[in-house]
Amino acid sequence: MRKMLVAAITLALALPAGTVLAAPAAAPATAAAETPTQLPRGVMPTHYAVSIVPHVDKLTFDGHVVIDVTVATPTSRITLNALGMTFSSATLAPAAGGKALPAKATVDAANQTARFTFAKPVTAGKYRLTLDYTGKIGTQANGLFAINYPTANGQRRALFTQFENSDARRFIPSWDEPAYKATFDLTVTAPKGEMAVSNMPIASTADLGHGLARVKFETTPKMSTYLLFFGLGDFERTTTESDGTQIGVVAQKGKAAQAGFVLDSAKTILHDYNDYFGIRYPLPKLDNIAAPGSSQFFSAMENWGAIFTFEYAMLLDPAYSTQGDRMNVFNTAAHEMAHQWFGDLVTMRWWDDLWLNEGFASWMAERETEKVHPEWNTVLETVRVREGAMGRDAIATTHPIVQKIATVEEASQAFDTITYAKGEAVIRMLEAYVGDAAWRQGVHDYLAAHAYGNTVSDDLWHAMDKVAGGKPITQVAHDFTLQPGVPLINVTAATCRDNRSTVSLTQGEFSRDQPHKTPLRWHVPVIAQVVGQPATSTLIDGSASVTLAGCGPVLVNAGQSGYYRTLYAPTLRASLAKDFTRLAPIDQLGLLGDSWAEGMAGLEPVSDFLDLAHAVPADASPELWSRVAGSLVGLDAYYRGDKPRQTRFRAYAVKQLRPEFDRIGWVPKPNESTSATLLRTQLIGALAQLGDARMLADVRQRFAAAKTNPKALPAALRQSVYMIVAEHADTKAWDELHAQAKAEKTPMIKDRLYRLLGIADDQALAERALALALTDEPGATNSAGMISAVAWHFPDLAWNFAMAHREQVAKLVDSSASSQFYPRLASASFDPSMIDKVKAYAASLPASARRPAETAIANIEYRMMIRKDRLPAVDAWLAKH
* DSSP secondary structure letters along 664-726: H-SSPPTT--HHHHHHHHHHHHHHHHTT-HHHHHHHHHHHHHTTT-GGGS-HHHHHHHHHHHH
Instruction: Say how far apart CA 13 and CA 695 lie, in whole Å.
Output: 16
Which strands sit side by side in the sheet containing 565-568, from one edge to the other?
543-549, 500-510, 486-497, 565-568
Helix (H) or strand (E) holding 839: helix 832-843
Indicate the pTM of the whole model: 0.95
Instruction: Say how far apart CA 595 and CA 614 lie, in whole Å.
Output: 13
> What pLDDT does 37 receive?
64
Q: For residue 383, what are the β-bridge partners?
A: none
**Contact call for residues 344 and 225 (beta carbons, < 8 A):** no
> What pLDDT does 24 receive?
32
The region that residue 178 occupies, defined by phi over 0 for left and psi between -120 and 50 for alpha, beta otherwise, is: alpha
**Contact call for residues 281 and 270 (beta carbons, < 8 A):** yes
Instruction: Say how far apart CA 777 and CA 742 lie, in whole Å.
Output: 8
* Longest CA pairwise span in the chain (Å): 91
CA 719 → CA 10, 59, 681, 696, 722, distances in Å?
Answer: 11, 35, 9, 15, 5
Q: 474: exposed, middle or buried (C-beta count within 10 Å: 0-12, 13-18, 19+)? A: middle
Q: Are strands 60-71 and 125-136 parallel, antiparallel or unpaired?
A: antiparallel
**Contact call for residues 148 and 136 (beta carbons, < 8 A):** no
> What pLDDT does 296 receive?
86
**Contact call for residues 130 and 90 (beta carbons, < 8 A):** yes
**Contact call for residues 377 and 339 (beta carbons, < 8 A):** no
594, amino acid identity: D
CA 712 → CA 698, 703, 708, distances in Å?
Answer: 11, 8, 9
**Contact call for residues 845 and 819 (beta carbons, < 8 A):** yes
Provide the b/e sequence for 803-840 (b: ≥16 CB within 10 Å): bebeeebbebbbbbbbbbbbbbbbbbbbeeebbebbee
**Taking the CB of residue 250, how many other CB atoms lie within 10 A of it?**
25
The region that residue 368 occupies, defined by phi over 0 for left and psi between -120 and 50 for alpha, beta otherwise, is: alpha
**Contact call for residues 724 and 699 (beta carbons, < 8 A):** yes
**Contact call for residues 565 and 486 (beta carbons, < 8 A):** yes
Instruction: Say how far apart CA 535 and CA 141 lie, in whole Å.
Output: 49
**Contact call for residues 212 and 188 (beta carbons, < 8 A):** no
302, 336, 358, 366: which one is catalytic? 336
Instruction: Say how far apart CA 551 and CA 185 lie, in whole Å.
Output: 67
Query: Is the omega angle on the peptide bond into residue 709 within 30 degrees of 0, that is, cis?
Result: no
Look at residue 502 and give its three-state secondary structure.
strand
**Taking the CB of residue 653, how many other CB atoms lie within 10 A of it?**
26
338, amino acid identity: A
Q: What is the mean pLDDT of each run of 10 residues along the chain (881 residues)?
A: 50 36 33 61 97 97 98 97 98 94 96 96 97 97 95 93 96 98 98 97 97 98 98 98 98 95 98 98 98 93 98 95 97 98 97 96 98 96 97 96 93 94 98 97 98 98 97 98 98 95 97 94 98 96 95 97 98 96 96 97 95 94 97 96 95 97 95 96 97 97 94 93 97 97 94 96 98 95 94 96 94 82 93 95 90 94 95 96 85
Which strands sit side by side in the sheet containing 125-136, from one edge to the other?
101-102, 86-94, 125-136, 60-71, 43-55, 183-191, 212-217, 202-209
DSSP single-letter state for residue 845:
S
**Contact call for residues 533 and 523 (beta carbons, < 8 A):** no
Residue 357: closest CA among 403, 273, 424, 433 = 424
727 is catalytic: no
Q: Which residues fall within 8 angstroms of residue 836, CB to CB, at 6 or more apart?
A: none
Q: Which residues fall within 8 angstroms of residue 141, CB to CB, at 6 or more apart?
A: 160, 162, 293, 295, 297, 298, 781, 814, 816
CA dihedral 392, 398, 402, 404 (to 10 degrees): -150
**Contact call for residues 413 and 855 (beta carbons, < 8 A):** no
> What pLDDT does 4 receive?
54
> What pLDDT does 2 receive?
72
CA 555 → CA 529, 532, 739, distances in Å?
Answer: 5, 10, 55
Instruction: Say what angle helices 570-578 and 606-614 make with each other, to 10 degrees.
Output: 10
Distance of CA 362 to the CA centre of its chain: 9
Instruction: Say how far apart CA 801 and CA 879 lie, in whole Å.
Output: 40
Q: For residue 144, what are the β-bridge partners?
A: 161
What are the start-end ranges of the H helices in 581-642? 585-600, 606-614, 622-638
Instruction: Say how far apart CA 331 and CA 342 lie, in whole Å.
Output: 16
Contacts of range 119-125, beta carbons closer than 8 Å, 24 or more positions apart = 119/76, 120/76, 121/74, 121/75, 121/76, 122/71, 122/74, 122/75, 122/76, 122/92, 123/71, 123/74, 124/71, 124/72, 124/73, 124/74, 125/70, 125/71, 125/94, 125/95
Helix (H) or strand (E) holding 325: helix 323-338
Look at residue 469 and give its three-state secondary structure.
coil
CA 200 → CA 175, 228, 675, distances in Å?
Answer: 21, 10, 40
Give backbone dihedrals phi and psi of 654, rounded to 5 degrees, phi first.
-65, -40
Instruction: Say how far apart CA 847 and CA 787 lie, in whole Å.
Output: 26
Distance of CA 311 to the CA centre of its chain: 16
Helix (H) or strand (E) holding 858: helix 851-865
9, amino acid identity: I
**Contact call for residues 366 and 382 (beta carbons, < 8 A):** yes
Q: Are strands 524-530 and 536-540 parallel, antiparallel or unpaired?
A: antiparallel
> What pLDDT does 17 receive?
39
**Contact call for residues 726 and 688 (beta carbons, < 8 A):** no
> What pLDDT does 3 receive?
63
Supply angle C-alpha 449, 454, 460, rounded to 5: 55
79, amino acid identity: T
> What pLDDT does 710 receive?
87
> What pLDDT does 20 receive?
36
